[in-house]
Amino acid sequence: CKTVVWLARDNKDEVKSCWDWTNGHWYGGPGEVDPQWPLDKHPGHADTPAITGALGGRSFSFNSRFWLNSNGFSISVPPEVPLYIAIDPPNPTTNIRRLCLVSKIPKDGPFYHWMRGRPHHLTYSECYANEVTNLTQFYVDIRPSLFQLARNLPDTSYLTAPVWSTWPGLRNKLDFSTLDEFVNHIRRNGTTRTVLRVGRGWESCLGEFHFSSTSFPDPKQTMDRVKSMGFNVLLRAHPFLAQKCAALYREAYDRSFLMKSAYAPAVNKMEDEMAANIDFSETIPGGAAEWWRDRLQQVRKSSGVHGFYFEYGQAYYLGDDARLEVNPNDYSRNYAETASHLGNMGSVAVGVGSSRLSMFAEMQKRSMSTWDAAGIKGVIPGVLQMGLSGYPFVLADPIGGGDAEQRPEPKLYVRWLQLATFLPSMHFSWDFWSYDNATLEIAKSMIKLRSTYSDTIVNLAKTAAETGIPMVRPLWWIAPNDARALQVDDQFLLGNDILVAPIVTEKDERDVYIPNGKWNDMVTNRPVAGPKVINAKVALGQLLYFTRIK
């Protein structure tokens, strides 16, 4: 490896380095809501600040500054660089495309107040594989210099049982009655001993962390009842505090616990409420982060819930007027770190160098129940990208889309359900009992299928915690020199011995690439030898997957 440093002449200068985007295949990067695998399929974008929540809050939530090239080459950029990323759009005339990394601090940019008056630079490391090292071994060799290992294994209930979220399935109708009905349906349909995430709508106002007295007149009784039915209950937490939480807002204001703009707290509209962000720009004893954490501890004690899951935290939501004297990404890093001290049962929706936290990393919510990259087609590339970027414990979107406004149509729901069966977590919100009986039976069969592999999934999670090797792997992981395996974006490996090829289009057939070796088709129970492409017709109730024959 070598480290390259380019110094800017002054703060008005920008420093740029570019690499050929058409030379080999690229993986990694900070991640987007409609991810591409490999990255050379990306449509391109202009200079974009590498802050969490870039591109309108939709991207870069797990802000990896690492790129891997299939020719045995990698680039990584340290956090102290005020980094912008650009990818040239396709040019059919010249076929020239570049990945460009830029260091700059324009006055209207998110790094200006942090870097103002200080010299900036573009620093990056380039690593090269030796002639005998394949892509997989190259990644394994350089990984320790890129990402820290998780301190401990996250709570295994996320791995072994379905995870249920009230949002978006109970969108705008969450109260003690609908929650009771929801959990009773879950029990009756055979998914007991599970995680229940109580989402948006449980609070009296945004950030107060008190149960709404109208929706939950006796929260302790409600939570005790839910727990008695076998659920581990988590409440949604976030870094916002609405102005209408008047007394608490005044306290936070008086104690300087809110992020500031030029003259006052930086207030933005969040979920239909005007709210400020709790100041996570630094974590000191008696400071804002500790105050926020203590209030969550109080509601956990009073209600008896097991813990929390943590949404938002992206620097984008601080707004354009925020005056950050620190790296904007430190806000996200500190938020995730503070959240991790509230237990390992939850998940966090943002991360910057946060791979060491013993929590699940929640993918950016998919707002569409569609067949394209904004919906089901983006799930596998997103999970693969996060695993390669140091986050093996991935909580993908709820089946059907995590922020979708309408219930998914039945066929899309079933195919999404099948895709999720072998992911690190099987995440539900839209229920399956409201569909027809056929869909209900398919859902039960997929949950049962996953349960037969629960030991395998837990063992892979342990390996990930110990080594950093992803649980869900790209096909090239076992075929690093296979040109076709380098490009497959709709199949994945669970470990090295389970090859999953779900249907992610409206068709009931697909081509499947079988990498080298002997595999057993678990639908037909017939052996197949690779490398080869096979065409398979897949009935709606079937999930196409293969196990390695040793």
Q: For residue 278, report the phi and psi dihedrals to the nearest 5 degrees.
A: -60, 140
The H-or-E segment that residue 414 falls in is helix 410-420
Shortest CA distance to 166 belongs to which of 150, 156, 177?
177
- Count of other CB atoms within 10 angstroms of residue 272: 8
What is the rounded CA–CA span in Å between residue 429 and residue 346? Answer: 16
Shortest CA distance to 473 belongs to which of 444, 500, 493, 445?
493
C-alpha gyration radius of the chain: 23
Cα(first)–Cα(last) distance of the chain, in Å?
37
Q: Which residues, in sequence order, are bridge partners of residue 236?
A: 309
Query: 186: which 2 tokens?
Result: 């879950």
What is the rounded CA–CA span in Å between residue 298 and residue 277? Answer: 20
Q: For the chain, percent helix, then strand, then coil, each to nearest 5?
A: 30, 25, 50
Q: For residue 209, report the phi and psi dihedrals to the nearest 5 degrees.
A: 60, 40
Residue 248's pLDDT is 98
Q: Which domains does the chain have, with CATH numbers?
A: 2-145 (no CATH), 157-237+285-466 (3.20.20.80), 472-548 (2.60.40.1180)
Q: What residue type is assigned to position 507 of the chain?
A: K
Shortest CA distance to 408 belongs to which of 381, 443, 382, 384?
443
Residue 132's pLDDT is 65
Residue bearing tokens 């449980």:
202
What is the rounded CA–CA span in Å between residue 492 and residue 484? Answer: 13
Residue 54's pLDDT is 84
Q: In what order do the strands lie in the sheet with 394-395?
A: 394-395, 360-362, 347-348, 307-310, 231-237, 194-198, 163-165, 427-428
Residue 367's pLDDT is 67
Residue 549's pLDDT is 97
Angle between helices 288-303 and 328-340 (to 10 degrees): 30
Cβ 266 vs Cβ 272: under 8 Å: no
Residue 323's pLDDT is 74
- Count of other CB atoms within 10 angstroms of residue 268: 18
Torsion of CA 508, 514, 517, 520, to 10 degrees: 0
Indicate the length of the chain as a whole number.
550
Residues of the chain with pLDDT under 50: none
